[in-house]
Structure 1
Amino acid sequence: MRVAITGGHGFLGWHTACRLRALHGVDAVRLGRAELADPRALADALSEVDAVLHVAGVNRADTDDEVERGNVALAETVAGAVTASGRPVDVVLANSVQAELDNPYGRGKARAAETLGAAVRGAGGRFADLLLPNLFGEHGRPGYNSFVATFAHEVAAGRAPQLSGDREIPLLHVQDAAAALVAAIGTDTRTLVDGEPIGIGEVLALLQEFHDLYATAGEVPDISTPVRRNLFNTYRAAAFPGMWPVFPQVHADDRGDLFETVRAHGGTGMAFMSTTHPGQKRGEHYHLHKVERFFVVKGEAEIQLRRLLHDDVVTFRLSGDTPSFVDMPTLWVHNIRNVGDTELVTMFWSDQLLDPAHPDQFPETIAQEARA
């Protein structure tokens, strides 16, 4: 299936493109501001795909009117391109639960659904309208995507965000939202997607708990529930790459050295060791949810990481002479290579036991290859 994503470089768009690649082997056509500003280019792009995930939207603007009109204008642009494509195209709208409320954002999203649905059905396609709650997750923009992103960046920077009001809010991890969007392709429905109710103060308390344990010694907190794991991965994304590598305390005597590699407060997990010959490499994959640690015990190693669907590479050099480790953030391709002249000994730890049927491990190279 050929899929296009409007707003494909934004928070939800990027996560959805990552999920399509990981679980469905689909490289989505990611449409951004340039394509949305050019009706002809947008119509040409939609004429080449089977489905469109309309994720682009206006969350913040200088005025309420710009928020309301902006979401309607984006829907009108996509609707015009669907009509101009001259063929049936299935469309899924990433709508908001606020579409049922009388506020500028809600009114704009409601009118966007009406406009886009009419055009899609008029062209013979199917239209799915998904009303999503508040989203959070890795690489959300602080001050824009959600209060969780703002809290995570503030806490990761060692600051103490102020809680101006506390109430319960339904939250949905962005990968779960992406899963709902993908599952809705080819359907004609209006669906309210539930989030998990959680207090704003509870979110802040959890992020501060994670920071207190993780920032100084890399101690893994209790991530035994999905919401804890997802909030922890959100915090880790905000803390990466600034806090790495970590150098634990080494206890030395005449027998040798002793140091902790992983201390975990909850959940299941597994640790294992590897030896790697000079010049050889391990990894070249990424994870959607797994928490994973690379601890260099002996030898010289280079760890490379690249955020999926991005170009920049983060590189760390670690040595067994000064034992240290780096945790792999979710949705970052990573590898480890022996860059020394002797054997490299590495310990690995994951928060979950290996499930061969669902390994949460997707092959990808650090060096992006040209794609047709």
Structure 2
Amino acid sequence: MTRISLTGANGFLGWHTRGAAHAQGISFAPIAVGDDFDLAAATDAISGTDRLIHIAGVNRASDPEVLEGNIRFAQQLASALDRATPAPSVVVFANSTQAGNGTTYGAAKQEAADILRGAAGRAGAEFVDLHLPNLFGEHGRPFYNSVVATFSHLLASGGNPEIDQDRELTLLHAQNAADALLGSVDDDALAALDARETVTGLLTRLREISSVYSRGGEIPDIAHPFDRDLFNTYRAAAFPNGTPIRLRRHADNRGSFFEIVRSHGGAGQSSFSTTVSGVTRGDHYHRRKVERFTVISGEATIKLRKLFSTEVFEFRLDGTSPASIDMPTMWAHNITNVGETDLYTSFWSNELFDSERPDTIAEPV
């Protein structure tokens, strides 16, 4: 099994990297830097791993703190790398496209890269200096990690985002960045995954996503991967508000009818299952796939848990009042028949199932 060690494991990109590593069967050892740095513990965490990934950094502080913090973190990591036995074969730095741009932050990232490059050279390791643009994705901190997180939070909570300054952004979803840090996407392929959009255009996209999804869980046009990633980011900000999605029943003397999914664009695949009493299905998560469970008949509980957390959300659904639940990406989920009769469930996803790339990773709730 491949093993990695990484700093910043509890941050935004660190969480996404851990999730991507888990999906690929890669184990990880976290490394604390800064005031919690321990040379012996860091050396032990690095020793014997295949890949060392440095994510931790300081980007929101005074200029002296930004400069000192980023350099200090790199020096601490370099001191541990110098002592690691055996040293990893690859050292990866989550650098920024702002490196060397004349700002204090750019200077700090550039010097940190130089420090790590030197340490990797002394250890005989390949050094990968990965220059990342603006990152966005599920569970980013609003007013901190990205404008996407801020807009998503405000729209999901009924706010009205305003634009202070419009400019073009280069955006990359955090799961794509995580794949690059892990070495499963090369630089050329990563550049093709960038999206360029103005702040105004970004807000327009997210307003449309919010408007469509608020109409009883209608699915916006997510045919393009960038729009899908924005939708998943928005859904993460909105959850668990609006969950479950209550379906409107149309009934007459012939029986009843209700819509399960109304999609405004993109692929889709529907399936159906019966589940006997007491049986649980699922216990997996998805990195990018949008998936909806709809209980049509019977009684069920649906449970969800965010990766690397312990809090479990549980929803009770009954086919007498049909309802749907959309599974947030990077959340383990399952469904259990808690009734005495068979459970009838409809499943919808935004992509056709591909056995070579199923995007379904086993993980118990």
Same fold (TM over 0.5): yes
Q: Take 2:191 and 2:98, find their aligned partners in 1: how far apart are those partners?
A: 12
Partner of 1:356: 355
Do the aligned partners of 2:48 and 2:87 also contact (CA within 8 Å) in 1?
Answer: no
CA deviation after TM superposition for structure 1 residue 84, in Å:
2.2
2:146 aligns with 146
Cα distance between partner residues in 2 of 1:94 and 1:15? 13
Deviations 1:12-42 (A, max 9, x none): 111111111212x112123345895222211
Q: 2:33 touches 2:73 (CA, 8 Å); kept in 1?
A: no
Tell me if structure 2 keeps the 8 A contact 1:133–1:193. no
The answer to whether residue 17 in structure 2 is matched with residue 16 in structure 1 is: yes
CA distance in 2, matches of 1:239, 1:190: 34
Which runs of no fewer than 5 residues in structure 2 stay unpaired?
none
| Superposed counterparts of 1:298-317, under 5 Å | 298-317=297-316
The aligned residue for residue 54 of structure 2 is 54
Amino acid at match of 2:274: T
Looking at structure 2, the residues matched to 166 and 57 of structure 1 have their Cα atoms a distance apart, in angstroms, of 26
CA offset digits 1:241-286 (Å, max 9, x no partner): 1220111221121222211110000011011221111101111111
CA distance in 2: counterparts of 1:40 and 1:128, whole angstroms: 25
- Report whether the alignment pairs 1:264 with 2:274: no
One-letter code of the match for 1:14?
W
One-letter code aligned to 2:43: A
> Helix, strand or coil for the counterpart of 2:214?
helix
365 and 35 in structure 1: CA distance in 2 versus 1, 3 angstrom threshold: farther
Residue of structure 1 equivalent to 2:38: 38
C-alpha distance 35-301 of structure 1, shift in aligned 2 (>3 A):
farther
The DSSP-based 3-state class of the residue aligned with 1:5 is: strand
Q: 1:36–1:76: structure 2 CA closer, same or farther, 3 Å change rule? A: farther
Q: Is the 8 A contact 1:79 1:115 kept in 2?
A: yes
Letter in 2 for 1:281: T
Q: 1:297 to 1:192 in 2, by over 3 A?
A: closer
Cα gap change, 1:70 to 1:88, in 2 (>3 Å): same
* Distance of 1:356 and 1:128 partners within structure 2: 32
* Residue pair 1:130, 1:192 contacting (<8 A) in 2 also: no
Give distance in 2, aligned partners of 1:251 and 1:310: 40
Q: Give the equivalent residue in structure 1 for 2:222.
A: 223
CA distance in 1, matches of 2:43, 2:284: 35
1:32, 1:9 → 2: CA distance?
A: 10
CA spacing shift, 1:86–1:363, aligned 2, 3 Å: closer
Q: For the structure 1 residues 106 and 246, does the alpha-carbon distance in structure 2 shift closer, same or farther, using more than 3 Å as the test? A: same
The residue type paired with residue 139 of structure 2 is H
Q: Determine if contact 2:235/2:328 at 8 Å carries over to the other structure.
A: yes
Cα distance in 1 for partners of 2:119, 2:272 equals: 57
1:157 corresponds to = 157
Give the secondary-structure state (helix, strand or coil) at the position aligned to 1:334.
strand
Alignment of 1:291-330 (within 5 A): 291-330=290-329
Secondary structure of the corresponding residue to residue 353 of structure 2:
coil
Aligned residue type for 1:320? G
Tell me how far apart the structure 1 counterparts of residues 126 and 143 of structure 2 sit (CA, whole Å).
35
Number of aligned pairs? 362
Partner of 1:130: 130
In structure 2, the residue matched to 1:369 is none
User: Which residue identity is paired with 2:15?
Assistant: W
Is the CA contact 1:130–1:193 (under 8 Å) kept in the aligned structure 2?
no
The superposition leaves residues 315-341 of structure 1 with CA deviations (integer Å, 9 ceiling, x where unpaired) of 111111211110001111110000111
Deviations 1:122-156 (A, max 9, x none): 12222111111010111111111111111111111
User: What is the TM-score normalised by the length of structure 1?
Assistant: 0.93
Alignment of structure 1 residues 1-372 onto 2, 5 Å: 1-23=2-24, 25-32=25-32, 36-61=36-61, 63-89=62-88, 90-183=90-183, 193=191, 195-366=194-365
Secondary structure at 1:72 match in 2: helix
Would the aligned equivalents of 1:9 and 1:32 in 2 still touch at CA under 8 Å? no
Question: Is the Cα–Cα contact under 8 Å of residues 91 and 126 in structure 2 kept in the other structure?
Answer: yes
AA at the equivalent of 1:11: F
Secondary structure of 1:68's counterpart equals helix
Q: Shift of the alpha carbon at 1:60? A: 1.0
| Cα gap change, 1:103 to 1:190, in 2 (>3 Å) | farther
Quote the Cα distance in structure 1 between the aligned partners of 2:4 and 2:35.
15
State the identity as a percent.
Answer: 48
**Could you list the per-position Cα deviations for residues 29-80 of structure 1 after superposition, in whole angstroms to 9, with x for gaps in the alignment?**
233458952222111211242221101111212x121112111111111001
Pairwise CA distance, 1:190? 12
Deviation at 1:203, TM superposition (A): 1.0
Residues 91-146 of structure 1: per-residue CA shift (max 9 Å, x gap): 10000010020111111100000111111211222211111101011111111111
Specify the code of the residue in structure 2 equivalent to 1:292: E
Q: Partners in 2 of 1:92 and 1:278 — Cα distance?
A: 49
Q: 1:223 to 1:190 in 2, by over 3 A?
A: closer
The farther-off stretch of 166-175 and 246-255 is 246-255
